[in-house]
Structure 1
């Protein structure tokens, strides 16, 4: 399986309104040094919704270049406009990404048949591995297990799903209906360990922006059958996972990275800085986990 273990849904650092390439490259390098298994540029955590198409392409290009095939790059390339998704996916392939992360179309709320036809249309134009992204809390649409099973059966490019419902019944249904070769990645940091126990293969993580080594170590421990270590790491990360969602992602994780000196704190509207009380809570959490000097 190509997409296994802990993949970081990378933040996009900004400086004075533009991409901070230097800090972005440093963040990617640190992630790889810490043992992360893969990288995801231009996901939700990367503020893809407020990147121009030119910036979107630049973020993918930088990530692929910096990773330099040391770990897989799964590039965010989805859209609620099928033609736009085709164009972004084509660029991801041309840039050298190992796969494309394709979100279910948001706002226009397609039916299950519409979801199927959307991904089929992209596959008709671009031949590269796809990991579909199901996050109803952001899109308003839940891609059902039967739809995923149909896509996996009919479309060779479809290799797996980032499942961000936090619904373990749905995860179980997906694995049951799609079989063991379908790669199910958690899109929710709280449920990685139970998802692995059902037959999932990893996570696309927010919290691994700040603790890449711990998240990858938990996935590795589980894979090696060291359940006690995996469970210890799971519970050890829960406080940080909660802190990463104290307000809308990626506000807390970018704030945390700035407190750690990894990036400057700059968000794009409509995202705004943490409320003062939440900033204090986050700082205390980072200090208690030994992440601040």
Structure 2
């Protein structure tokens, strides 16, 4: 599954000032990512504010991305939740013909045991007509999918092909990389530790910041995959400040502020999220202005 090696991006959902989905801006962002060299696109992940989108709006996002992508890059769809039966039903009733895989988050709020997480994903994989990428993000789900559970799924469920690992624990990621089946992908879900994970043997990243700065981010990952450590870290440190800023006041407020500075979309987010404050917006705008080779003006 080398199509998911490198840099994937977790696309935002841009909104108009009346809070409707901004299809034109989403088309621009997709084109910008493709032109910047990303390897694949992730639709309706957390960064897309999918928790606040209606079913009709989700369909608008899906169709807009499919049209704008025009078959150029592999697409991954976010399909997950904390009600296993509901996730299974969604997989059985959704047209996934435009997607190469799904990204499915570990059940949140319920705080299942490791056995519960295993059984959840076993049921999800059985219902999915496309490969499944697991998503571990304890900061959002309140439970950590431990390496032993991930490895059990990797070895026993053929339709599970990888994990987006966002525990913020490089040691946990290294344990996964060390013991995983050869073709199982360990993908960074944390922009700041992407390069260390790649250099440790990871397959790449599903990134937030890379959609704002695709050229440098994708090149950093490619250099890391090739073992060119010094050149890769030069790009990492070039992007480090904006990675911090992008998450300082929550995701996707930061990356939407980047897009505003780039002139690609408004910086509107939906409640209960609020947009970046004036100070952060000014700092992000200055970064974009001073790093014209990273952004576009």
TM-score by length of 2: 0.93
Secondary structure of 1:7's partner? Answer: strand
Q: How many Å separate the matches in 1 of 2:117 and 2:296?
A: 44
How far apart are 1:280 and its partner, in Å?
2.3
**Do the aligned residues in 2 keep the contact of 1:37 with 1:71 (CA within 8 Å)?**
yes
Whether 1:165 aligns to 2:173 is: no
How far apart are 1:242 and its partner, in Å?
0.8
Q: How many Å separate the matches in 1 of 2:216 and 2:270?
A: 29
Secondary structure of 1:133's partner? Answer: strand
**Do the aligned residues in 2 keep the contact of 1:101 with 1:132 (CA within 8 Å)?**
yes
**Do the aligned residues in 2 keep the contact of 1:60 with 1:95 (CA within 8 Å)?**
no
TM-score by length of 1: 0.95
Runs (5+) with no aligned partner, structure 1: none
Of 5-14 and 50-59, more deviation after overlay is shown by 50-59
* Number of residue pairs the alignment of both structures matches: 293
Of 86-95 and 212-221, more deviation after overlay is shown by 86-95
Match of 1:103 in 2: 105
Of 95-104 and 221-230, more deviation after overlay is shown by 221-230
Of 87-96 and 215-224, more deviation after overlay is shown by 87-96
Q: How many Å separate the matches in 1 of 2:115 and 2:226?
A: 39
**Do the aligned residues in 1 keep the contact of 2:91 with 2:127 (CA within 8 Å)?**
no
Secondary structure of 2:24's partner? Answer: helix
Aligned positions of 1:188-199 closer than 5 A: 188-199=190-201
Q: How many Å separate the matches in 1 of 2:37 and 2:93?
A: 27
Match of 1:18 in 2: 20
Match of 2:258 in 1: 256
Residues 234-257 of structure 1: per-residue CA shift (max 9 Å, x gap): 111111111101201110111110
Whether 1:222 aligns to 2:224 is: yes
**Do the aligned residues in 1 keep the contact of 2:194 with 2:205 (CA within 8 Å)?**
yes
Q: How many Å separate the matches in 1 of 2:203 and 2:112?
A: 28
